[in-house]
Amino acid sequence: MSDTNKESYVVGVDLGGTKILAGLFDNSLECVGTAKVSTKAQRGLETVLTRIERCVRDAVDEADLSLKNVRGVGIGAPGAVDFENGTVLFAPNLEGWKDVPLKKELEKRLDLPVFVENDGNISVLGVHVAELKAKPRNVIGIFVGTGIGGGLIINAELFSGFNHTAGEIGHMIIDVNGPKCGCGSRGCFEAVASRTAIFQRIKAGIKDGEKTLLTEMLGENLEDLRSGDLRKAIRRGDKFVSKVIEQVAEYIGIGVANLVNILAPEVVVLGGGVMEALADEMTSVILKTAKEHAMPGTMKNVEIIASKLGDSAGITGAAVLARREAK
């Protein structure tokens, strides 16, 4: 172990399309301080960089420490990342960031080593290290939020492939004639099963005259609709929202079956904001659909579980990365 120094903390950052989370982690990978700010990507790159810096400083301050106590910072970014250079190659959910030298810019601002990875990769790493006690050798992480991110543990290591882009499961096409995706294709996994897809289905249903408690709760335009509202509506007996969530859970089950057929993992971990809010409503449908669509034999002893880390998967994995990489 290189981190026996008690003063050796790391910060893990989860850079999302709508919010930035940061967590300060001690040597035992305990989170001892957190901070959260909205991303405001629409205000431009400088704003986002400043807000990441502020969020890191706030998390450290929260634990009554200073950046001097910190060995390094890990960041999970929502898009294709060049890990070697710490560059975000392409991030559609950050106003289309292209070739942003995130590592270099933040190292300048924080005077600390910074390491950047894809957010799905980071999250599955966090779950593998902090949650999966049996340390399975092959794990698929499926993170359902604004989009769908993924990450792969293969032979007990994070696997990012040749172009460091492995795990882009959100753009696996499962319904070739389905709804248009932000990437330009049709019927991508995230075009049929992300929060964005759920909200589109609900809004389209309302236009077609479907009745839902959501309009009572939030008004006709469903302003500030969140995943938690869907759970509330379902628990109050909203049949339309139940139906939409069941259909989306079926799509997630098909995505799981595809990935199990391709990769034969021991464990599939489901996480992200949608799963966190709706795990009770979705998990049994996901399991049933996955079993129906996977090849005979492939699902034997495969565990499909909802992560308990929730939103902390990203900051935890980013902290693991920083611990591994910072000298």
Contact footprint for a copy of itself (CB under 8 A)? 80, 89-90, 136-138, 150, 152, 154-155, 159-169, 171-178, 183-185, 187, 251, 254, 257-259, 261-266, 292-298, 300-302
Of the pair 215, 298, the CB lying nearest a copy of itself is at 298
Tokens in use for 64?
């009554």
d(CA 203, CA 181): 17
CB of 258 to a copy of itself, least distance (A): 5
Of the pair 37, 263, the CB lying nearest a copy of itself is at 263
Do residues 8 and 72 make contact, with C-beta atoms less than 8 angstroms apart? no
Of the pair 28, 155, the CB lying nearest a copy of itself is at 155
State the DSSP H helix or E strand holding residue 151, giving kind and residue range, or none if neither.
Answer: strand 148-154
Of the pair 83, 199, the CB lying nearest a copy of itself is at 83
d(CA 245, CA 204): 14
CB of 92 to a copy of itself, least distance (A): 9
Of the pair 204, 295, the CB lying nearest a copy of itself is at 295
> C-alpha angle with apex 205: 279 to 251, nearest 5 degrees?
40
CB of 286 to a copy of itself, least distance (A): 15
CB of 148 to a copy of itself, least distance (A): 11
DSSP string, 56-120: HHHHHHHTT--GGGEEEEEEEESSEEETTTTEEEEETTTTTEEEE-HHHHHHHHHSS-EEEEEHH
CB of 74 to a copy of itself, least distance (A): 21
Of the pair 40, 164, the CB lying nearest a copy of itself is at 164
CB of 133 to a copy of itself, least distance (A): 17
d(CA 60, CA 294): 45
CB of 280 to a copy of itself, least distance (A): 25
Of the pair 159, 199, the CB lying nearest a copy of itself is at 159
Select from 108, 8, 4, 7 the least CA-distant residue to 50: 108
DSSP string, 1-29: -----TT-EEEEEEE-SSEEEEEEE-TT-
